Structure 1
Amino acid sequence: RAGTGRMKLKALLVTLAAVMCMAAASDPSERLPDPKQEAHATNLTIQKLGESSQEIGNVIKVISSIAQQTNLLALNATIEAARAGDAGRGFAVVANEVKELAKQTARATEEITSKIGAIQGDSADAVKAILKIGTSIEKLNGISISIAASVEEQSATSEEVARVVRESSGGVKGIAGNIKSVSEAAHHTSVGAEQIQDASRSLHDLANRLQQIVKRLKN
């Protein structure tokens, strides 16, 4: 029963691999891409995204610095307007508006900086995930190649078994003919001995060849 189970399992694997190989051969465009190349290309894209995020972050730093300077200037302008009294009231209003705008700019830059940090973190996680996926695809390709090799080996073994069976059939017929000839020519001792030797050698060769096939199938 165990041997029958192994034979069924081998047959199932052979059938599965044959279907996979036929599908790949029928439409090469649908074959799995090289996982290393795909992972590398995607990795480069994400790296570019990270670089762009870094550049945006640098611009945000400049804007934040300008906002801080603007805030200081607005504060100084407010102080000077207060010193000017009534003559500086209009200027004080403008200074307050500029100061409020600087605060809004500072809040916006902080929010953008936080989002950029999240994008960079997600990019790093994506790179790790893509590398893992590439490794998994590479393993699947290796398994497919192994199964395909097993299919070729099983096919070759099956063809050899069929050939040996055909030759064995012919050998058995020949042996039967030799035995018949021996019985018919039993009174001719010398002829009968030679034919018996030929039949014995044929049986010995046939047994050796069948034994080799059985060993290969067990392995």
Structure 2
Amino acid sequence: MQVLAAGSLRTVWTSLMAHFPQPVQTLFGPAGLLRERIEAGEPCDLFASASLAHPRALLAAGRALAVLPFASNQLCLTVRREVWREGDDWFSLLTREGLRIATSTPGADPSGDYTQELFTRMGSAGESVRRRAQALVGGRDSAPIPPGKLAAEWILRSGNAEVFIGYASYGEKLRQMDGLKVLDIPPPFNPRANYACAVISPQAQPLADFLQSVQAQAILHQAGFSAYSRE
């Protein structure tokens, strides 16, 4: 079975597939770019996306048989520890002039789209942050993230930015890394990232059902994901 899956699922996917009885070959990447590859005819039985929009687009175009949500995520802020000051929170860091802010790429990667929604929810302050933010990962021409590295870790430690906005599911691992600090973004500012799979061929239905199972949900929860939410 051929699967195309959002890059943010890479770290949990091996654990999930260890409990699925059929062999699965998986390629990871930004969900928006993966959808384009499916639309261009790349073989795929199941598409696991970090956004409902991309599987629904395939369904509307007659390229998918069904769309099933299976998890959710949120955003968090990771900063180089030396720029953090006592009393700082996510808002003060994003709005501090002089700090370089890195994000994923809107359109190509849902993480970038959710980040743009975050800026919108910040009101007028968010418009200034939006202008300063740089999309450094998740795009067609973005430099590849080195194997074994998380995007926030690589961007911040390489000196390309002081602040990175990414998925909260990486937060626990990032908190264990020297020199980095992770800050939560509270509701109602933090958009909910809903994950869903598009069933492209009938043979992929058992995998889609498995992703919604109690066993898979427990694995996803342990990896920092939450249950699907209809926010």
Answer whether TM exceeds 0.5 for this pair: no
TM-score for the superposition, normalised by structure 1: 0.15
Structure with a larger share of its residues in strand: 2
Structure with a larger share of its residues in helix: 1
TM-score for the superposition, normalised by structure 2: 0.15
Structure of greater relative contact order (alpha carbons < 8 Å, 6+ residues apart): 2
